[in-house]
Amino acid sequence: MTQTEVVLEEKVNLFQQVQRQIDQAASIMQLEPGIHSILREPMREIRVSLPLKTDDGRLRLFEGFRVQYNDARGPTKGGIRFHPDETIDTVRALAAWMTWKCAIMDLPYGGAKGGIICNPKEMSSRELEALSRTYIDKIYDFLGPEKDIPAPDVYTTPQIMAWMMDEYSKLRGCYCPGVITGKPISLGGSLGRDDATARGGVYVVREAARWLKMELSGARVAVQGYGNAGSFAAVLLGKELGAKIVAVSDSRGGIYNPQGLDPTAVLQYKKKTGSVVDFGGAEFVSNKEILELDVDILIPAALEDQITGENADRIKARVVAELANGPTTPEADKLLHEKGVFVIPDFLCNAGGVTVSYFEWVQNISGYSWPGETVKQRLDARMTTAFEQVLSLFKEYEVDLRMAAYILAIKRVSEVMQLRGWI
């Protein structure tokens, strides 16, 4: 790839990347142009201004979003991010991916995503609660267990979900746990939700290894992003599949030990110090370097656009399991596929979170909670089935796994749109 091509790649925002991938899938499928045009754009976008009186008496105005991408298959579903760099295009892209993710997992949902441009690390608990409640006040008319069901995402927590659920319940005039998922267990949250994203990813890594005839016991693993999903994935891969975690990183940098790290001890160290950096017995690596280590499995679990046309040729992993949303650009996808790297796309790999959120919603509606083992078993069954269905299209169309996942999702969404008479 030339320097000019790399620059052009960097100018494409996340939603434009999504649209390019939709266009590619539509071409392969020979999708009817009208359906194609509908699937390229969000169904509904909501922008709100959120006034907040801060602890020091100032009045600040924040901007919030909710994008409901497509509700053909059911009420929309998707997380809410609190992030200083949030943009409407990022929210659009994530809402689109949620649409495909729910379709791949065969959940009765469409896709949505929300966000507020703020830095929660600089806000008090009172300020976060007030902002969370104001956000729900502003978008209340568009939410509901039968309309749109939010969940936590980057820098939002079960406590924030509890405040949001309570605010919605006050406005509706009754206790309504089914409007929000990812809540504390005592407020209708589901057992197994805390590690669901990681556990779902581990299940599809296991299935990919079976397909590739790859031994997981002792397999070397690097995890970029040692937050909730990344740390749980490291622990589960080590304990349940016998893999060797050799490198992990967070926003401050990473650590590497070719002999292996204890992922639980690293997590405890991070909780104590705020970072994995300087963990004993390991050398420092940057977030860029960790992607290029000589490992069997690479897990990008941080932010978007980490593997690009510039560094794809230096990726040595045999399997890339995308726990983050959008960590690989379209240019990098092409290069990795040509190299024979098996990329498990984000909206398959990290679908465990929305799947257990669906389980939580079902439990809330029925008023009956499931044991943790039931949640794990049902998640395993859903992830395994979804992987097998995507793999089938991967072989049929002779495309990469991401494009196979797009084809499966678009087929399911467009079929329901036609059956409902939308087109």
Element (H, E) at 288: helix 287-291
Supply the pLDDT for residue 304: 83
- Phi, psi for 310 (deg, rounded to 5): -75, -35
Supply the pLDDT for residue 8: 39
Beta carbons of 257 and 293 less than 8 angstroms apart: no
**Residue closest to 113 by CA, chosen among 17, 23, 44, 19:** 44
Distance CA 157, CA 136 (A): 15
Distance CA 90, CA 200 (A): 23
Supply the pLDDT for residue 14: 87
Residues 394, 395, 401, CA angle at the centre, nearest 5°?
20
**Residue closest to 415 by CA, chosen among 142, 45, 19, 70:** 70
Task: Convert the pLDDT of each residue in 352-367 to its tens digit.
Answer: 999 999 999 999 999 9
**Residue closest to 75 by CA, chosen among 357, 325, 386:** 357
Supply the pLDDT for residue 383: 98
Supply the pLDDT for residue 4: 36
Task: Convert the pLDDT of each residue in 167-178 to its tens digit.
Answer: 999 999 999 999
The answer for residues whose C-beta is within 8 angstroms of residue 99's C-beta and 6 or more apart is: 69, 70, 110, 111, 409, 413
Supply the pLDDT for residue 12: 61
Assign 212 to helix, strand or coil.
helix
Burial of 46 (0-12, 13-18, 19+ CB in 10 A): middle
Beta carbons of 192 and 353 less than 8 angstroms apart: no
The answer for residues whose C-beta is within 8 angstroms of residue 298's C-beta and 6 or more apart is: 221, 222, 224, 291, 315, 317, 319, 320, 321
Distance CA 121, CA 156 (A): 11
The answer for residues whose C-beta is within 8 angstroms of residue 41's C-beta and 6 or more apart is: none
Architecture of domain 196-349: 3-Layer(aba) Sandwich (3.40)
Q: Which two tokens mark 234?
A: 């490291």
Residues in the chain predicted with pLDDT less than 70, given as ranges, are 1-12
Comparing 43-187 with 196-349, is the CATH topology the same? Answer: yes
The ranges assigned to domains in the chain are: 43-187, 196-349
Distance CA 322, CA 381 (A): 20
Beta carbons of 225 and 197 less than 8 angstroms apart: no
The answer for residues whose C-beta is within 8 angstroms of residue 331's C-beta and 6 or more apart is: 1, 5, 9, 308, 309, 312
Architecture of domain 43-187: 3-Layer(aba) Sandwich (3.40)
Residues catalogued as catalytic: 113
Task: Convert the pLDDT of each residue in 256-301 to its tens digit.
Answer: 999 999 999 999 999 999 999 999 999 999 999 999 999 999 999 9
Assign 240 to helix, strand or coil.
helix
